[in-house]
Amino acid sequence: MKKIILLLLVITFASCKKEAEPTENLPQHDESAVAVSGEALFSGKGTCTACHLPDQKVIGPSIAEIAKIYKENNGSIVAFLKEEAEPIVDPSQYETMKTNFAITKKMSEAELKALEAYMLSFAK
Ligand code: HEC
């Protein structure tokens, strides 16, 4: 009888340990992916790549051009994406960019900061 109880205890502990590990690790993984990857937001949820390429103007100015102008002017891309700051790159095309604010205004501060950091990394 003692042996059976001991065996049950060992099994219970062993299965507890196995179950605890994956549930501890998974959410952490997901959060860090969302929090740090401005690149993933830019091409994914933000749909920014539809209009912005790294070095070439398509519908919108290139990321490199935007980054250069924001660095020179010490501008805030975060504020721009919240529609709290005026356009400084190509105001004549502002209406087109405005259609994307529906997406960026729903983003968290951390997501907007990640997008800003990603874009500024293209400044030469
Ligand atoms: C429908 C096309 C389109 C999409 C999608 C788009 N943009 Fe733009 N974007 C533009 C155009 C056109 C301009 C130039 C007008 C302007 O400067 O405001 C622009 C300008 C910008 C600027 C410079 C603003 C300034 O000060 O003039 C930033 C920063 C920017 N976009 C970031 C983004 C980010 C980040 C995303 C994705 C979340 C995005 N854009 C998605 C078309 C788009």
The structure's pTM equals 0.79
pLDDT bucket at 85, cuts 50 / 70 / 90: very high
How many domains is the chain built from? Answer: 2
Domain region containing 72: 37-124
Side-chain-side CA neighbours of residue 17 (13 Å): 6
Question: Which residue, by CA, sits nearest to atom 34 of ligand 1?
Answer: 48
The most confident of 20-24, 90-94, 120-124, by mean pLDDT: 90-94
Are residue 24 and residue 44 in the same domain, yes or no? no
Mean pLDDT of 67-71: 98
For residue 51, the CA-to-ligand 1 centroid distance in Å is 7
Are residue 109 and residue 77 in the same domain, yes or no? yes
Are residue 25 and residue 46 in the same domain, yes or no? no
Q: Which atom of ligand 1 is nearest to the CA of 93?
A: 15
pLDDT surpassing 70 at residue 103: yes
Mean pLDDT of 84-108: 98
Which of helix, strand or coil describes residue 57?
strand
Are residue 79 and residue 20 in the same domain, yes or no? no
Q: What is the CA radius of gyration of the chain?
A: 23
Mean pLDDT of the chain: 83
Which of helix, strand or coil describes residue 62?
coil
Does ligand 1 lie within 6 Å of residue 87's CB atom? Answer: yes
Are residue 24 and residue 83 in the same domain, yes or no? no
Distance CA 21, CA 121 (A): 36
Determine what percent of the chain is predicted with pLDDT higher than 70. Answer: 71
Distance CA 30, CA 26 (A): 6
User: For residue 20, what are its two tokens?
Assistant: 């605890």
Q: Which amino acid is at 87?
A: P
Distance CA 118, CA 63 (A): 9
pLDDT bucket at 28, cuts 50 / 70 / 90: very low
Does ligand 1 lie within 6 Å of residue 93's CB atom? Answer: yes
